[in-house]
A and B are shown apart, each in its own frame.
Chain A
Amino acid sequence: MLASPVATWSGVVAGASAPGVAQGGLGYLPQLLNYLANGVVFSAIIVLGGIGLSLVYSIADFANFAHGDTMTVGAYAGLLTLGAVGSAGPQVFALPLGFYAALLAGIAVAAVVAVATHYLVYEPLDTDSIGLLITSIGVAFVYRALIQIQFGRGFTEYDIATLRPIPWIEDLTGITVTEHEVAIVLVASVLVTALHVVLQYTTLGRTMRATADNEALAKVSGIRTERVITSMWVIGAGLAGAGGVFLGLYNQLSPRMGFNLLLVIFAAVILGGIGSVYGAMLGGVVIGMVNRLTPVLTDFGIPIEPAYANAIAFVIMVLVLLVRPTGIAGEGVS
């Protein structure tokens, strides 16, 4: 199934760029697997960001443009913590324990900042969802500006040695994946599973789903919606903070890192269905995969460069909005 289009295309398109395609046939498979593996890692980050965006959309009822910068806040909180704790000591998945402390700090700080923003900024506002949307842009700028003032505008990195790919996986399958990337996917899976358990099997989860469904009804049923909204911010921003720390580990840190990813996360959330947490997870995986599989287009001679990976996500987003605004898993939110 895979080999036949490769053969046809490499025959038709002279000078197709990837060596794998030029060799034809199965030679391209390791390359493709690499893109897929990379896509899984990137998806994990998008999913962590998407859940919070979707939660805010369903419970607080607005498109939160500060969500990307909440990820940045988490990433830089991690940077500070890692600097304080240091990267010495025992390692898990080739990551020092200090990194896990940084991860927890990123989650905690992002959550605290988001809850504080809710009470200081959003809560006193007397406005509709559009007013909240516009306000969240201002909040995003304030977050980013404060990070720039503190840490400068350039790129930084976590003080953790970059790794070579895990040798036995590379030998066996040709996939170059580092232990860090495995750790990102594993921890993200644990967080997502934990969220699933919370949503489905705890009172908090049930009250959250009830509030998202119909806030007024939840209120008259005796649910303390104010508390639910606070927990929603804690969970959403906490996951975003974790996503930010992972994004910093996966790439680099810069004050714009979260804002640059925001629209891609929006694309994932819209594709999955606004307001649906599980849709956001699904959309995150699809958009993350599509994003990292874009080089395949060039390899097959389609003149769309990898630089357009985000553009493809945005176009998918607009198409979903047009054709099926409720997304894949949407429950008639419209």
Chain B
Amino acid sequence: MPEDTRSAFEGGEDTSQERIESATNVVLAVAALGLLAGALFGLISPRYLVFLVSLAGMYALLSLGLNVQWGYAGLINFSVAAFFGLGAYVPVLLSASGSPITDALPPIAGLFVAVVVTVLLALAIGIPTLSLREDYLAIASLGLAEVVRLVVRNQENWTGGTGGLGGIPLFFEGVPVLGTLARDIGTVDVGFYTLGFQFWNSLLNAALVGAFVLGSYLVLRRMHRSPWGRVLRTIRSDEDLAEALGKNTYAFRMQAFVLGSVVAMLAGVYYAYSNYYLTPDIFDPIYTFYAWIAVILGGSGSNRGALFGGVVIVTIVEGTRSLGIGASWRLFAVGLLIVLVMRFRPQGVLPPRDELIWPSARGGEADE
């Protein structure tokens, strides 16, 4: 395919892109095979493997959500952690036995309540801030996310405060079949391992986060290619142009903000139900910055890149942990990674390319 059929988004001068992409694929494949082999030969417990995959899914959701906001619409949103935390807290507050509000609702119903609350919070944060200049938006959204964190920490009568919440049920509790599946299968002996309730439960949670990722990915890819996505891309590259074309840019940015926040919230739902205990630490701005690294490293505007970024974050976070490297070095690695990416590859490893071109329009002349 000749050079000039590529998307203008890419910039065009980067001829090494193909090699980088295949190298990325090779590295990912080798890593996946390595982990799988490790599990087969008894080096990595299957439960840990499942946990790693789910965690990658969780970070991928955060970065997919942020990608809608920053990658599509150019919004510098530093409030990702607020929505991550909300996704964890809302269903747990409605379903956990340790909740000061109620434990009457099944977690799945809590998920739908969380969607509503997320939309409301996104509107509450977005309405005042989305009309701001981009660097002001960064500061303001971080400030409002901190306000949310302070409220959760201090309103003990609603949230349990810094003491946290216990008694979190399984996510599928109350659902026929799935609710008791992990118990019903019982223990199975496979080679090195005995797979018990814990493993099956992790597997169910992995399926949950996998479904979230797959659903979000497909929906977002479809929306990114749609006229809606085209308008957002126009806003990102030239807002005045979008205005001149008669687009209500504020409304479009608000839609991107709400949509991205809902996707990031889903990550919180997985986080809550894969843990026994939930504390306000989940609102720590570090999660916002993890999502940012994932998106920038993967390539702003690229959904594949966001998935890739999620995998890299898990590699950094869990890799340093399993090597016995402390949190301080992890922070160092994360900081250095940000600086290096911005210095040497600001467009990211997998910048958006032909994923922005409608499949039927690819190959030969564009038909419109």
Query: Measuring CB to CB, which residues of chain A are less than 8 angstroms from any residue of chain B?
Result: 62-63, 121, 124-127, 129-131, 133-135, 137-146, 148-149, 153, 263, 266-267, 270, 305, 307-308, 310-311, 314-315, 317-318, 321-322, 325, 334
- Chain B nearest CB, measured from A266 CB (Å): 5
Interface SS of A by simple majority: helix
Does chain A have a CB within 8 A of B304?
no
Kindly identify which residue among A127, A143, A148, A308 contacts B346, using a CB–CB cutoff of 8 Å.
Answer: A127
Question: Is there an interface contact between B135 and A311, defined as CB atoms closer than 8 Å?
Answer: no
A318/B144 contact (C-beta < 8 A), A134-B296, A139-B339, A145-B335 known: yes
Expressed in whole angstroms, the minimum distance between the Cβ of A274 and any Cβ of chain B is: 8
A321-B338 contact given A133-B135, A149-B332, CB 8 Å threshold: no
Number of interchain pairs (Cβ within 8 Å): 119
Q: Answer yes or no: B128 CB below 8 A from chain A CBs.
A: yes
Closest approach, in angstroms, between the C-beta of B154 and any C-beta of chain A?
A: 5
Q: What's the minimum C-beta distance from A109 to chain B, rounded to whole angstroms?
A: 19
Given contacts A134-B338, A141-B338, A308-B154, contact A321 B132 (CB under 8 A): yes
How many Å from the CB of A217 to the closest CB on chain B? Answer: 23
Separation of A134 and B129 alpha carbons in the complex (Å): 19
Chain A CB within 8 A of B313 CB: no
A and B contact pairs by CB, cutoff 8 A, 30 listed = A63-B139, A125-B342, A125-B343, A130-B135, A131-B346, A133-B76, A135-B339, A138-B335, A138-B342, A141-B289, A143-B335, A144-B335, A145-B329, A145-B332, A148-B331, A266-B143, A267-B143, A308-B150, A308-B154, A311-B150, A311-B151, A314-B143, A314-B146, A317-B143, A318-B128, A318-B140, A318-B143, A321-B132, A321-B136, A321-B139
> Bound state CA distance, A129 and B132, in angstroms?
15
Q: B338 is contacted by which of A138, A146, A270, A317 (Cβ under 8 Å)?
A: A138
List of B residues within 8 angstroms of A121 by Cβ: 339, 343
B residues at A contact (CB < 8 Å): 76, 128-129, 131-136, 138-140, 142-144, 146-147, 150-151, 153-154, 289, 292, 296, 326-332, 334-339, 342-343, 346
Residue of B nearest to A138 (CB): B338
Among A137, A314, A334, which residue has its beta carbon within 8 angstroms of that of B292? A137
* SS class, residues of chain B in contact with chain A: helix
Q: With a CB–CB cut-off of 8 A, which chain B residues contact A334?
A: 133
Specify which of B153, B326, B335 lies most central, judged by the most chain A CB atoms within 10 Å of its CB: B335
Whether A63 pairs with B328 at a CB distance below 8 angstroms is no
Beta-carbon contact of A149 and B328 below 8 Å: yes
How far apart are the CA atoms of A310 and B330 in the complex, in Å?
Answer: 28
Closest to B335 in A: A141
Taking CB atoms, residues of chain B closer than 8 Å to A322 are: 128, 131-132
Minimal beta-carbon separation of A242 from chain B (angstroms): 24
- A144 CB contacts on chain B under 8 angstroms: 331, 335
Determine which residue in B131, B337, B339 has the highest number of CB atoms from chain A within 10 A of its CB, and name it.
B339
**Complex-state Cα separation, A62 to B76, whole angstroms:** 14
For B151, give the chain A residue with the smallest CB separation: A311
Residues of chain B lying within 8 A (CB to CB) of residue A143: 335
Q: A134 contacts B342, CB within 8 Å?
A: yes
Given contacts A138-B338, A145-B335, contact A270 B139 (CB under 8 A): yes
Which partner residue on chain A sits nearest B74 by CB separation? A130
Q: Which residue of B lies closest to A143 (CB)?
A: B335
Residues in B whose Cβ lies below 8 Å from that of A130: 76, 134-135
Taking A263-B139, A308-B150 as contacts, is the C-beta distance between A153 and B144 under 8 angstroms? no
